[in-house]
Amino acid sequence: MAEEFQVIIGLEVHCQLNTKSKLFCGCSADFRADAPNTHVCPVCLGLPGALPVLNKKAVEYALKVAKALNCTIPEEGEFCRKNYFYPDLVKAYQITMGDDPLAIGGYIEIEDDAGNPKVVNLTRIHVEEDPGRLVHMGNKERGYYTLVDYNRSGIPLIEMVTEPEMSSPKEARRLLNKLRATLEYLDVFDPEKEGSLRVDANISIKGHERVEIKNITSYKGVEKALTFEITRQKNLIRRGGRIVRETRHFQEGKGTTTSARSKETANDYRYFPEPDLPVIRVADWVKDIELPELPDARRDRFMSQYGIAVNHARTLTGDLKLAEFYETIAPVGAALAASWTADILMGELNYRDMHVSEVAGHADQFAELIGLVRDKKITDKAGVEVLRVWLDALHTEAKSEAPSAIVERLGLARESGESFRGIVEAILEKNPQAVADHKAGKKGALNFIVGQVMKETKGKSDPREIHAMISEILGE
Amino acid sequence: MITEEDVIQIAGLADLSVPQGELTAFTGSFNAILEYFDILDTLEIEGSLERKLFNVFREDEVTESLSQEDALKNSHNPEEGYIRAPKVV
């Protein structure tokens, strides 16, 4: 019996804006490398009598995002106090926006799981302050306690809320990738800073209560958290159980979610207008905001300017640094460079947990490598080998060795097929069964032979040449 | 009309407990305060609610923060620059 479970997902994405100073005071927002409680002042410590004053740049950045995401800016926006009692909040309230946010509506275009275009609508975007950072300490024997660092208190955030319109964890992941790329292109946040993009997800099975998952600190964890939660909810329903409307925390290490205590979920924030901040009227600023080329436009340009395939163009423009990297090496041969960057380099980078920014300074060397492949100085296989050696040296020793030097050092230069004739003949002789299979018309039998030759020649031979030579030897 | 249950709930949200003997007094005080709003509601405010103050900003400029020593002056028993708080999870 097939069971129909329709999954409904909505996201709340928090992004730290990369302003120089905090949202309501002049404390430096560049706090990550510094000692705790050294980027604080009476305002962000919530000391009596201190008054917040809004950072204009934060509003401009938020409007830039709103424009890029096709939002409407209401005539008036108003800050509110969201009251809750927790040590990460100095004032026992967070300054955020309530019924009158900065922006409403808007949408993000993604692809659904079948590869068709899909529009996910946005509910709103608002500006708010980041709370402080808590470190949970202690043990069973000596008791538990909490350490608080208010350096993060008051860092400007925008919260972007989507409608519950995604229907799989993969769609949610694609939306986040698109959003992350857009924010990066807009130059309003730094994706390499830990915790600069944080996600809460609402997820439900149609006809059942929804669950909010908090604490997803790596946006790559979103797909994992949602996948786990769908399985949990489906199993619960299959067993005849009921989904409880609740907040659950994602445990990054275990890849599971656990129920938060009901006290933390008490949704009684008693919002009221922030009396210390006048309203904002910024709708007419939007027309003066100039947007840079955004990921979709760049993808389309890559396809028309470089004549590359849509999947390559999409991968290459999904990350600003990657797109810039590709454009510097494209002159070596646009199609070859696209394939070597999007397919091969990205795979090798991911395998090493590296980011393209770590090789961006050596784009000329990567271009040299592609040139060696293009000019048939080395085979594709040897090219991959050179790439690995090159990346390992960059990664582990921060040493950059020219690909041509690596080819020389490891003796990977391509040699013409003729010099391998002896090896080919010997391998054919050693594998009469494969030859017989091939003659009997079995597809792929020759591939085994070619593979053996490649191995024997350490990748210096060209598989197409070897193929041709085998056919010739076998008198075909 | 504020009830004793409302007072207990509001106190709970602030992590406060209300001593049993004082619950009635607090409930009375809450109601007395809210009654002032009945007086405010009698005012003629038509047209006077227009906001004359809006768009008050500061430029994105960094100013000096407190020293860690000053920042921790009101903290009992800080630990390595952090403020110590009771267990929260």
Q: Give A110-148 pLDDT, tens digit per residue.
A: 999 998 999 999 999 999 999 999 998 888 877 889 999
Contact A359, A394 (CB under 8 A): yes
Judge whether B14 lies within some domain: yes
Q: Give B57-84 pLDDT, tens digit per residue.
A: 999 999 999 999 999 998 988 999 999 9
Q: How far apart are alpha carbons A67 and A127 in whole angstroms?
A: 15
Q: Give A257-295 pLDDT, tens digit per residue.
A: 888 765 444 468 889 999 999 999 999 999 999 999 999
Chain A touched by B43 (CB under 8 Å): no
Residue A129 belongs to what H/E stretch? strand A117-129
Collapsed DSSP state (helix, strand, coil) of residue A48 = coil
Judge whether B5 lies within some domain: yes
Q: How many CB pairs under 8 A join A and B?
A: 127
> Alpha-carbon torsion A15, A20, A22, A23, what sign?
negative
The total domain count for chain B is 1
The tokens of A158 are what?
A: 């925008």
The strands making up A272-273's β-sheet, listed across from edge to edge, are A93-97, A79-83, A272-273
Alpha helical stretches, state H, A50-209: 56-68, 169-185
Judge whether B71 lies within some domain: no
Q: Give A328-382 pLDDT, tens digit per residue.
A: 999 999 999 999 999 999 999 999 989 999 999 999 999 999 999 999 899 898 9
Q: How far apart are alpha carbons A66 and A436 in whole angstroms?
A: 67
Choose, out of A20, A37, A82, the residue to mutate when testing the contact with B (most B CBs < 10 Å).
A37
Contacts of A266 in chain B (CB under 8 A): 13
Judge whether B19 lies within some domain: yes
Q: How far apart are alpha carbons A471 and A446 in whole angstroms?
A: 9
Chain A touched by B49 (CB under 8 Å): no
Judge whether B82 lies within some domain: no
Q: What CATH number is associated with residue B37?
A: 1.10.20
Contacts of B55 in chain A (CB under 8 A): 278, 280-282
For the residues A400-418, what does the mean pLDDT come to? 85
Burial of A167 (0-12, 13-18, 19+ CB in 10 A): middle
Residues composing chain A: 476
For the residues A313-333, what does the mean pLDDT come to? 96
Distances in Å between the Cα of A287 and the Cα atoms of A125, A142, A284, A290 are 18, 59, 6, 8
Nearest residue on chain A to B50, alpha-carbon basis: A279
Taken in order of first residue, the domains within chain A and their CATH numbers are 7-288 (no CATH), 295-410 (no CATH), 417-473 (1.10.10.410)
Residue A428: the pLDDT is 85
Residue A2: the pLDDT is 45
> Alpha-carbon torsion A71, A74, A79, A84, what sign?
negative
Percent of chain A topping pLDDT 90: 68
Residue A250 belongs to what H/E stretch? strand A246-251
| Interchain contact, B51 vs A279, CB within 8 Å | yes
Residue A264: the pLDDT is 45
Q: What is the phi-psi region of residue A349: left when phi exceeds 0, alpha when psi lies from -120 to 50, beta otherwise? A: alpha
ipTM value greater than 0.95: no
DSSP 8-state class, residue A218: S
The identity of residue A102, as a single letter, is L
Judge whether B55 lies within some domain: no
Closest CA–CA distance from residue A50 to any residue of chain B (Å): 14
> Alpha-carbon torsion A441, A442, A447, A448, what sign?
negative
Whole domain around residue B29: which residue ranges? 1-43
Chain A touched by B5 (CB under 8 Å): no
| Interchain contact, A21 vs B54, CB within 8 Å | no
Average pLDDT value for chain B: 90
Contact A212, A200 (CB under 8 A): yes
Contact A218, A225 (CB under 8 A): no
Q: How far apart are alpha carbons A180 and A190 in whole angstroms?
A: 10
Residue A416: the pLDDT is 72
pLDDT at A235 over 60: yes
Contact B81, A308 (CB under 8 A): no
Judge whether B16 lies within some domain: yes
Nearest to A68 by CA among A158, A202, A168, A190: A158
Closest CA–CA distance from residue B77 to any residue of chain A (Å): 11
Burial of A240 (0-12, 13-18, 19+ CB in 10 A): exposed
| Interchain contact, A57 vs B60, CB within 8 Å | yes
Judge whether B9 lies within some domain: yes
Paired residues of A273 in beta bridges: A80
Residue A265: the pLDDT is 46
Nearest residue on chain A to B66, alpha-carbon basis: A41
pLDDT at A88 over 80: yes
Least confident of A27-41, A46-60, A214-228, A335-349: A214-228
Could you give the angle at which helices A295-306 and A320-329 cross, rounded to 10 degrees? 20
Nearest to A110 by CA among A158, A153, A166, A164: A166
Contacts of A279 in chain B (CB under 8 A): 51, 54
Nearest to A266 among B13, B63, B81 (CB): B13
For the residues A205-229, what does the mean pLDDT come to? 88
